[in-house]
Structure 1
Amino acid sequence: MTKQDLQIKTGDGIAKSGLFRPADASRAKAGVVLYMDAFGPRLTLDGMAERLANEGYAVLVPDLFYRNAPYGPFDAKTAFAVEHTKTELTALISGTTQEMTIRDSGDFLDALVAEGVTGPVGTIGYCMGGARALNAAASYPDRIAVAASFHGGNLASDAADSPHRKAASIKARVYVGTAGIDRSFPPEQSGRLEEALRAAEVDHTIENYVGMAHGWCVPDHSVFDAAGAERHWKRLITLLAETLG
């Protein structure tokens, strides 16, 4: 596995990103964009990208908060419990809109092509990245073949930029893994998303991980669950293999 540091030029600046590839980069099966959770790029996300790279994918992990860099770093276990870091994180999240990430995603996809990673792409998002993975699939339907969200929030909210509103534009296969209890994605949103995807005839699965809490997949979260995380890896790797090869 190799890591390459990229500086991706966007309409608003430079997004620092990591590109993780198999040891023989020419043998990468396909490209994947991993949309970060609220705590930003860090060693934990590097480790998750490395695991996918070892499965044979070229994995791009962009900094979605680049417009406000430098910031942090944040401890995922305590950041929302400490007032000053909670305030900083809340500002970063609210100040990085879905529309910003949708625009950036075109540049992320172009960066993969510039690095020799061509063909259909997968998008994966955790926490705040979940909605972004789905919105990217809706915005670049001819380039993104599969999109997955794990403990993603506000996937079918009342907001104008909620992913369920763009279901008709999605051509990708979609997988949504939800925490058993998650205030950011309650049952009524799950039902609304299901209805939208089904009406749009999107190939999709929404799976409830009973007993898991928001953030269970990511090793440095306070609610990380090893067994639940392995279940997510099994689902994700199978999904990518079936759709990207």
Structure 2
Amino acid sequence: MGTSIDIKAADGSGSFSGYLAIPASGSGPGIVLLQEIFGVNGTIREIADYYAEEGYVVLAPDLFWRQEAGVELDYTAEDWQRAFGFYQGFDQDRGIEDIAAAIAALRSRPECSGQVGALGFCLGARLAYLTACRCDVDVAVGYYGMGIENHLDEAASIRGRLVLHFAEQDEYCPAAARQDIEAALDQRDNVELYRYPGVDHAFARPRSEHYHKPSALMAHQRSVAAFRQAMGPHYDLSALWDKHCEYEFSTRNVDDTMATMVAEPYVNHIPTLTGGVGYRELYRFYKHHFVDSNPDDTTLIPLSRTVGATQIVDELLFCFTHDREIDWLLPGIAPTGNYVEIPLVAIVKFRGDKLYHEHIYWDQASLLVQVGVLDPAGLPVAGRETAAKLLDETLPSNALMPTWADSANR
């Protein structure tokens, strides 16, 4: 997705390269992406492309250029040694000056809307913190930074928003360092500090031995939320989701449905493990097992919607007559002709203005009771009552609890 550009050093000593990734829209707020100790390698370029999908113009400058231009290391033992050598030889103050030059270069580009943030990992996280202190950025985000505690005297200079993610088991930023950072920054209105229990350094790098997907996903959501709040771009996620559902359930057009999604999306219907991962498998699923498998009287009744910076949570009733086999919902169950109402929750994640994934939840036991293939007698399950109580909270509670009556006079 990206290209290489030249950035002029502010001190007149030459120029250095930067990897530039531009969103599909062609423009957006800017992010200067600050490298780990391994240089602008494949991981950094992938992160740049990822944030370009989120709607940002991303520039990853080569910060080791004063030692050696084009450093791009892997994570082998040999490259680790080389990386630490570059880290030890890095002139941090000159590095911040180069970051300021990259910010200026990014702001001057026609693709950049003017606002610029910083995002850094490892060494880059400390540089993101110092960038917030010394440079003109709207927001700075750092992952598992090391050495920030040695520069807390500069915190008073932070003008924009600062978000820092810490790994609880990080040997490069131990508990004592985190305590110093928290004591200095935690009460500032423009600072967010997050600690991820049980994880180690590089928990957000997919090929790291310490990669922890739940923490990485949570941290990414918080990071994008900070960027969105400080500088946009702002998308009407509600309208995008409604249009996607229109193509699924009303016009029933698979190509239009897929056009609302990223290049490699996925859908997971949690109770039945149905859906698809990647464009080809999801297209196949929608085409042959979903869009035309839903009964003609299928109705979605919305009850609530929560819209965040990167995702939507929809609570609704899913209603239909079971007049055909519904592969994705009741796989292998022949039509019963029964009318069904089930509560359903959809958690829909976006990248920029495209759907990235859907996690769909419902009570499969209630569904099986309603179509008559599960006898609820003696089981703590309910049928259509689950939907009825969502609409009328005064209906009886705790009827499935044999001990409920025992507590009446306690």
SS of 1:213 mapped into structure 2: coil
8 A Cα contact 1:22 1:53, kept in partner: yes
SS of 2:120 mapped into structure 1: strand
Q: How far 1:45 moved relative to its partner?
A: 1.5
Q: How far 1:232 moved relative to its partner?
A: 1.7
Query: Normalising by the residue count of structure 1, what TM-score does the alignment of the two structures yield?
Result: 0.86
Q: How far 1:66 moved relative to its partner?
A: 1.1
Give runs of aligned pairs for residues 120-139 of structure 1, distance below 5 A: 120-139=115-134
Please give the alpha-carbon distance, in whole angstroms, between the structure 2 residues aligned to 1:17 and 1:72: 12
Please give the alpha-carbon distance, in whole angstroms, between the structure 2 residues aligned to 1:63 and 1:239: 25
Structure 1 residue 150 corresponds to structure 2 residue 143: yes
| One-letter code aligned to 1:186 | P
8 A Cα contact 1:174 1:202, kept in partner: no
User: Partner of 2:26 in structure 1?
Assistant: 25
Q: How far 1:88 moved relative to its partner?
A: 2.3
User: Partner of 1:176 in structure 2?
Assistant: 164
Higher share in helix: 1
Structure 1 residue 190 corresponds to structure 2 residue 191: no
User: Partner of 1:209 in structure 2?
Assistant: 196
Q: Residue deviations 1:87-129, cap 9 Å, x none?
A: 4222210111220111112211111122122433111110000
SS of 2:185 mapped into structure 1: helix
Q: Pick the structure with greater CA Rg.
A: 2
Query: Normalising by the residue count of structure 2, what TM-score does the alignment of the two structures yield?
Result: 0.53
Please give the alpha-carbon distance, in whole angstroms, between the structure 2 residues aligned to 1:137 and 1:72: 25
User: Partner of 1:44 in structure 2?
Assistant: 43
8 A Cα contact 1:35 1:61, kept in partner: yes
8 A Cα contact 1:8 1:17, kept in partner: yes
| Pick aligned residue for 1:233 from 220, 224, 233 | 220
SS of 1:236 mapped into structure 2: helix
Q: How far 1:225 moved relative to its partner?
A: 2.1
8 A Cα contact 2:40 2:62, kept in partner: yes
SS of 1:166 mapped into structure 2: helix
Q: Indicate the structure whose relative CO is greater, using CA pairs within 8 Å and at least 6 residues apart.
A: 1
User: Partner of 2:305 in structure 1?
Assistant: none
Please give the alpha-carbon distance, in whole angstroms, between the structure 1 residues aligned to 2:153 and 2:58: 27
SS of 2:19 mapped into structure 1: strand
Q: How far 1:208 moved relative to its partner?
A: 0.8
Q: How far 1:242 moved relative to its partner?
A: 1.2
Please give the alpha-carbon distance, in whole angstroms, between the structure 2 residues aligned to 1:220 and 1:16: 25
Please give the alpha-carbon distance, in whole angstroms, between the structure 2 residues aligned to 1:49 and 1:176: 19
State the number of aligned residues.
229
User: Partner of 1:34 in structure 2?
Assistant: 33
User: Partner of 2:57 in structure 1?
Assistant: 58
Please give the alpha-carbon distance, in whole angstroms, between the structure 2 residues aligned to 1:239 and 1:72: 30
User: Partner of 2:264 in structure 1?
Assistant: none
Please give the alpha-carbon distance, in whole angstroms, between the structure 1 residues aligned to 2:88 and 2:165: 23
Q: How far 1:233 moved relative to its partner?
A: 1.3
Indicate how the Cα distance of structure 1 residues 129 and 59 shifts in structure 2: closer, same or farther if over 3 A, else same.
Answer: same
Q: Residue deviations 1:124-174, cap 9 Å, x none?
A: 11000001001011112xx311111101111103xxxx2x12100001111
SS of 2:198 mapped into structure 1: strand
Structure 2 regions of 5+ residues with no counterpart? Answer: 233-410
Q: How far 1:86 moved relative to its partner?
A: 3.9
Q: Residue deviations 1:167-198, cap 9 Å, x none?
A: 00001111111011112111222121222225
| One-letter code aligned to 2:198 | G
| One-letter code aligned to 2:153 | R
Q: How far 1:231 moved relative to its partner?
A: 1.6
| One-letter code aligned to 2:58 | V
Residue identity (%): 28
Larger mean CA deviation between 146-155 and 42-51 belongs to 42-51
Structure 1 residue 98 corresponds to structure 2 residue 99: no
RMSD (Å) for aligned C-alpha atoms = 1.8
Q: How far 1:70 moved relative to its partner?
A: 4.5
SS of 1:65 mapped into structure 2: coil
